[in-house]
């Protein structure tokens, strides 16, 4: 089955570091980009950044640049989102989503299709 399996809920204190994961199965890890998306309590979706697992090329939203690091490990087909120093405002659900670019008859199409179920991160002293 094609799926993105995210790591379990986390409870951390401000200032702690954290890494959450998104393990893919049912397809070749390097064939699709993986994006991370934040959803704060009761709020909308925010695109944080993305990684191309084939070469670990990453891009970030200006809102998240320098605040988080996205990485990937081809040996375990897993993408990661990490913080070096959490803040209370990082409390949110974090989703991973795969996407890709395809061309049909010379026309490019970017598509998002599969999402993980989300990881709840709670940061509280």
Partner 1 sequence: QTVVTQEPSLTVSPGGTVTLTCASSTGAVTSANYPNWFQQKPGQPPRALIYSTSNKHSWTPARFSGSLLGGKAALTLANVQPEDEAEYYCLLHYGAIWVFGGGTKLTVL
Among 17, 25, 56, 59, binds partner 1 (CB under 8 A): 59
The residue among 23, 22, 27, 34 whose CA lies nearest residue 112 is 34
Q: Which stretch binds partner 1 (CB under 8 A): 15-23, 66-74, 79-87, 116-124?
A: 116-124
Least spacing, CB of residue 51 vs partner 1, in Å: 12
21 near partner 1, rule: CB under 8 A: no
Nearer to partner 1, 27 or 115 (CB): 115
Least spacing, CB of residue 125 vs partner 1, in Å: 27
51-69: b (≥16 Cβ within 10 Å) or e: bebeeeeeebbeebeeebe
The enclosing H or E element of 123 equals strand 119-123
The residue among 45, 49, 46 whose CA lies nearest residue 33 is 49
Least spacing, CB of residue 84 vs partner 1, in Å: 22
62 near partner 1, rule: CB under 8 A: yes
Residues 6+ apart with CB under 8 A from 77: 23, 24, 25, 29
Under the rule (CB under 8 A), what is the footprint of partner 1? Answer: 35, 37, 44-47, 50, 59-63, 95, 97, 108-118
């Amino acid at each position: 089955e094609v799926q993105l399996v995210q790591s379990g809920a986390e409870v951390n204190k401000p200032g702690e570091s954290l890494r959450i994961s998104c393990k893919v199965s049912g397809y070749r890890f390097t064939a699709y980009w993986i994006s991370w998306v934040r959803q704060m309590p009761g709020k909308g979706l925010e695109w944080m950044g993305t990684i191309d697992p084939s070469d670990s090329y990453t891009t970030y939203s200006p809102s998240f640049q320098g605040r988080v690091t996205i990485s990937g490990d081809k040996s375990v087909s897993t993408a990661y989102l990490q913080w070096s120093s959490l803040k209370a405002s990082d409390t949110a659900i974090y989703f991973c989503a795969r996407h890709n670019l395809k061309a049909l008859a010379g026309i490019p199409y970017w598509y998002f299709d599969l999402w993980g179920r989300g990881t709840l991160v709670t940061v509280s002293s």
